Chain A
Amino acid sequence: MHAKQVEEALHQVKDPEIDTVSIVDLGMVENVTVDHAHIIVKLLPTFMGCPALEIIKNNVEATLTQSIKGIEKISVQFLYSPPWTSSRITERGMKQLKAFGIAPPPKQMDATGEWHVDCPYCQSTYTTMDNLFGPTACRSILYCHTCKNPFEAMKPVSTI
C-alpha cells in the first residue's frame, strides 16, 4: 500500500454539497501517511462550522475501505493549521465548480477586501452581490444582469 494509491482513491470523495468536485481538487487534503496497514488522512476544513465535515470523514473512511485492500485502520483528522485558503483549489477544481453552476473564487481580492466574479453560465461581468452569505458557509449568492440568473460563488478566503 502506498500514499499515492490513497491519494488516487481520495479523488472519488466528493464534497457532499457540490458533487462534481473532489476534496482533493478543493484543496482539503493536506497530508496522507501510510504506516503499514494504518492510513492517516489529514484534512483542512474550508470553514470550521461546516456541518459536512462529519459526512466527509465518513465518506473518506468508506471509500478507502472499498477501494484499497488490506487496510486495518483509517484515521481522518481535521487540522486548522495551515488554514485552508481558496487559492488551494486546483485548476480542475475551478472548472468543476463552474460546471456545477458555482463561480470559482477570484484569485485576488483588492485592497478594500472587495471582490468580483463573472457569471458561471454566460461569462458576463455584469454581476452584483445579492448576499455575501449563501446556502453553505463557503458560498455567496450573486445575480447576473445579462442572463438574469441568480448564481453562487465560492467565497475567497485568505490569510490577509
Chain B
Amino acid sequence: MTIEELHTNPAYQDALVDLLYQLADDDFIVAYRGSEWLGLAPHIEEDVAFSSISQDTMGHATMLYELLESIGEGDANALAHARKADERKNAILLEMVNGSGTYLQEPKYDWAFAVVRHYCYTLAKTIKMKSLQQSSFEPLAQLAVKINMELHYHLLHWKTWFTQLMKIPGESQERMVAAWDRVMKDMKGVLALGSYEEDLVKYNVMTNETQLMHSWMQEMQSLISNYHLPIEVRLKMNSGNGRLGEHSKDLEDALNTLSSVYRIDPTAAW
C-alpha cells in the first residue's frame, strides 16, 4: 500500500493513522522527557549520549509526523505542538515526569526511573520496528528500516546502564528494583495498540498486541536470567490507556512548556 492508494481503503487508513499517531506521540514525549535531563545526567559522557539519543528520537517523531502530514492529517509542526492532551495517543508511562521539581527549579530527577523507562521503551520500540519492516504500508516499512539502524545504538546504551545498575548491591539495586516495579505498573500501555488493533493485523500493517508482549517478555526474561537480576516481568496498565486518549496532568504540563514558543509564533523556524 502506498500513500496514493490509501483512499481505496478507508478502514485501512483509519487504523494506519491511529498507529502512526501512537508511534509519533510516543517518540515525541519520551524525547522531550529525555531532553529535560540535559545538564543533569550523572556525568558529562552521559549528558552527550542521552541528548544524542533524544535528538535521534525526536528525529523519528518528526519523520512520523511528516508521514501523517503527507497522508493529509495537517502540518507536521502543528501535529507535534498544537494538539491537546486528550488528542494524544502516547502511552502514559512515557509522559510521566522525571521526578520532582522542574528543569529550572530544584530538579530532583530519578536516574533509576530514567534508565528503566528508557530501556523498557527502547526494547518495545525495537520489537515494533522489526515487525513494521514487514508492514504492508510501504513508507512505514522503509522508515522502520532506517529507525532500526539508529535504535541499535540506543538499545546497547540503555542495556548497559540497566544491567550494571541492577547488579550493584545496595542503593543502586534497591532504587533500580523500585523503578522497575513502577515501570511495570504501566508498561503494558506501551505495548498496547489501541482500538484499531484488529484492522492493523487484518491489513498486515503490523503484528498483534499479544505477539508484541510475548516478544518483549521473552527478550526481557532472557536478560533477567542471563544476568541473574532480582526482578520479575508483570506487565500492567494501572494509570489508563494512552492509546485511547487517556492521560495524566503530567502530559498537559509538558505540552504547555514545550509548545510555548510555537504558541507565540507558529511560523518560527526550528
B60 close to A (CB within 8 Å): yes
Interface residues on A, range: 20 to 34
Q: Which residues of B contact A134 (CB under 8 A)?
A: 48, 52
Bin chain B's interface residue count.
20 to 34
A 76-96 to B, binary, CB cutoff 8 A, 1 in contact else 0? 000011010100000000000
Most B CB atoms within 10 A — which of A50, A132, A141, A159? A132
A-B CB pair tally, cutoff 8 Å: 68
Instruction: Check A83/B48 contact, CB under 8 A, given A48-B60, A132-B156.
Output: no
Interface residues of A, dominant DSSP: loop
CB distance from A139 to the nearest CB of B (A): 9
Residues of A within 8 A of B62 (CB): 48-49
Please measure, in the bound complex, the distance between the C-alpha atom of A124 and the C-alpha atom of B62, giving whole angstroms: 40
Known: A49-B56, A51-B55. A131 touches B49 (CB 8 A): yes
Closest to A157 in B: B149
Chain B residues contacting A125 (CB-CB under 8 Å) are: none
Q: Which residues of A lie under 8 Å from residue B142 when comparing CB positions?
A: 80-81, 83
A158 interfacial contact with B, CB 8 Å: yes
- Chain A, residues 40-68, CB within 8 Å of chain B (1/0): the string is 00000001111100000000000000000
Alpha-carbon gap, A149 to B146, bound state (A): 33
Contact B60 A130 (CB under 8 A): no
Are B60 and A49 touching (Cβ within 8 A)? yes
Q: Are B59 and A49 closer than 8 Å at their CB atoms? A: yes
Contacts of A123-160 to chain B: CB distance below 8 A: 130-137, 141, 155, 157-159
Find the B residue at minimum CB distance from A109.
Answer: B152
Whether A113 sits at the interface, judged by CB under 8 Å, is: yes
**B59 and A133 contacting across the interface, CB-CB below 8 Å:** no
Q: Does B153 have its Cβ within 8 Å of any Cβ on chain A?
A: yes
B212 at the interface (CB under 8 A from A): no
Against A, the Cβ 8 Å flags (1 = close, 0 = not) of B42-83 are 000100110011011111101100000000000000000000
> How far apart sit A137 and B52, CA to CA, in the bound complex (Å)?
6
Q: In the complex, which residues of chain B have a beta carbon less than 8 angstroms from the beta carbon of A135?
A: 48
Residue of B nearest to A83 (CB): B146
Rounded to whole angstroms, the CA-CA distance of A80 and B146 in the bound complex is: 6
Contact A137 B149 (CB under 8 A): no
B45 touches A80 (CB 8 A): no
Q: Is the CB of B152 within 8 A of A137?
A: no
Taking the closest CB of chain A, its distance from the CB of B263, in whole angstroms, is: 22
Q: Would you give the shortest CB distance from A57 to chain B, in whole angstroms?
A: 12
Q: In the assembled complex, how far is the CB of residue A61 from the closest CB belonging to chain B, in whole angstroms?
A: 15
Mask: chain B, 84-111; 1 = CB below 8 Å from A; 0 = not: 0000000000000000000000000000
Extra inter-chain contacts (4) besides given A80-B145, A130-B45, A132-B157, CB under 8 Å = A48-B60, A80-B146, A81-B146, A137-B52
B interface residues, Cβ below 8 angstroms from A: 45, 48-49, 52-53, 55-60, 62-63, 142-143, 145-147, 149-150, 152-153, 156-157
- 8 CB contacts below 8 A, A to B, read A81-B145, A83-B146, A132-B156, A132-B157, A133-B45, A133-B53, A141-B45, A155-B153
